[in-house]
């Protein structure tokens, strides 16, 4: 896990662009990043950021 190459990332980006659309993609990516950060902090036992 975690061994994703450039071609795989490109395919994921193109599929996300087609499914979500170019206007909502930054919003969805930001939300996903915040969710992953909160999950990692919860695993470490830290309170979530606001």
All residues at 6 or more sequence positions from 16 whose CB lies less than 8 Å from its CB, including other chains: 25, 28
Domain carrying residue 32 = 20-50
Residue 11 falls inside a structural domain: no
Residue 15 falls inside a structural domain: no
Indicate left, alpha or beta for 18 from its phi (over 0: left) and psi (-120 to 50: alpha): alpha
Residue 14 falls inside a structural domain: no
Residue 4 falls inside a structural domain: no
The confidence score (pLDDT) of residue 1 equals: 53
Under the banding of pLDDT at 50, 70 and 90, the label for residue 9 is: confident
Residue 31 falls inside a structural domain: yes
Indicate the pTM of the whole model.
0.60
Our CA angle for 12, 15, 17, nearest 5°, is 105
All residues at 6 or more sequence positions from 47 whose CB lies less than 8 Å from its CB, including other chains: 41
CB distance 38 to 48 below 8 Å: yes
List the structure tokens of 19: 């499914």
Give how many domains the chain has, as a whole number.
1
């Amino acid at each position: 896990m975690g061994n994703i190459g450039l071609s795989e990332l490109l395919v994921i980006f193109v599929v996300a662009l087609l499914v979500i659309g170019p206007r909502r993609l930054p919003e969805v990516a930001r939300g996903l990043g915040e969710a992953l950060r909160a999950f990692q902090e919860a695993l470490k036992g830290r309170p979530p950021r606001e």
